Structure 1
Amino acid sequence: MAKILTITLNPAIDVTIELNELRLGEVNRQEHVQLHAAGKGLNVAQVLHDLGHTVIVSGFLGRENREIFDKHFHHMQFDNQFIYIDGETRQNIKVAESSGRMTDINGKGFIISEQNKTAFFAQIEACSVDIDHVVIAGSLPQGFSIDDFKSLISLLKKLNKKIAIDTSGKALATAIAMNPWLIKPNTDELEESFGKNVEQFSAQTELFKQLDSQIEHVVISMGENGVNWLNSGKALHAQPPKMTVKSTVGAGDSLLAGMLHGLVSNFTPEETLTTATAIASHAVSQVGFRIPTQDKLAHLKQQTTIKSLS
Structure 2
Amino acid sequence: MSAILTVTFNPALDMTGSVGALQPGDVNLVQNYTLHPAGKGVNVARVLSDLGATVSVSGFLGADNQDPFSQLFAEHGVADHFLRVPGVSRTNVKLVENTGRVTDLNFPGMAVDPTHIDALTETLHALAASHEWIVLAGSLPPGVTTEQLVMWISTLREAGKKVVVDTSQHALRAAIDATPWLVKPNEAELAQCLNESISNEQSVLLARGEQLFNQGIANVVISRGVDGVLWRDHQGWLKAVAPAQQVVSTVGAGDSLVAGLVSGCQAGLSKETALRQAVAISALAVTQVGVGVSNHENVNQLSEQISVSPVELSVHAQ
Q: TM-score range by the shorter chain?
A: over 0.9
Instruction: Give 1:303's aligned residue.
Output: 305
Aligned pairs (5 A) from 1:261-272: 261-272=263-274
The separation in 1 between residues aligned to 2:57 and 2:275, in whole angstroms, is 25
Question: Aligned partners of 1:247, 1:170: CA distance in 2, in Å?
Answer: 26
How far apart in 1 are the matches of 2:157 and 2:29? 49
Q: How many residues align?
A: 310
Alignment match, 1:219: 221
Within-5 A mapping of 1:30-109: 30-109=30-109
Please state if 1:200 is matched with 2:201: yes
- Cα pair distance change 1:209/1:285, threshold 3 Å: closer
Q: Aligned residue for 2:151?
A: 151
Taking a change above 3 Å as real, the CA distance of residues 155 and 238 of structure 1, as seen in their structure-2 partners, is same
Deviation at 1:238, TM superposition (A): 0.3
Pair 223,116 (structure 1): closer, same or farther in 2 beyond 3 Å: same
Whole-Å separation in 2 of the counterparts to 1:142 and 1:286: 31
Distance across 2 between alignment mates of 1:151 and 1:208: 23
- Cα distance, 1:25 vs. partner? 4.7
Structure 2: which amino acid aligns with 1:216?
Answer: A
Q: Distance in 2 between matches of 1:210 and 1:30?
A: 43
CA distance in 2, matches of 1:209, 1:60: 34
TM-score (norm 1): 0.95
Distance 1:283 1:206 in 2: 29
Q: Partner residue of 1:131?
A: 131
**Does 190-199 or 38-47 show the bigger shift?**
190-199
Matched letter for residue 119 of structure 1: A
Distance, in Å, in 1 between the alignment partners of 2:19 and 2:296 is: 30
2:261 to 259, 262, 272: 259
Q: Aligned-pair distance for 1:22?
A: 3.1
Letter of the structure 2 residue corresponding to residue 204 of structure 1:
L
Q: Secondary structure at 1:248's aligned position in 2?
A: coil
Q: 1: CA distance between counterparts of 2:41 and 2:222?
A: 18
Q: Which amino acid aligns with 1:115?
A: T
Distance 1:252 1:208 in 2: 17
Structure 1: any 5+ residue segments left out of the alignment? none
Deviation at 1:105, TM superposition (A): 1.2
Per-residue deviation, 1:240? 1.2
Match of 1:183 in 2: 183
RMSD value, Cα = 1.6
Greater shift in the superposed pair: 41-50 or 290-299: 290-299
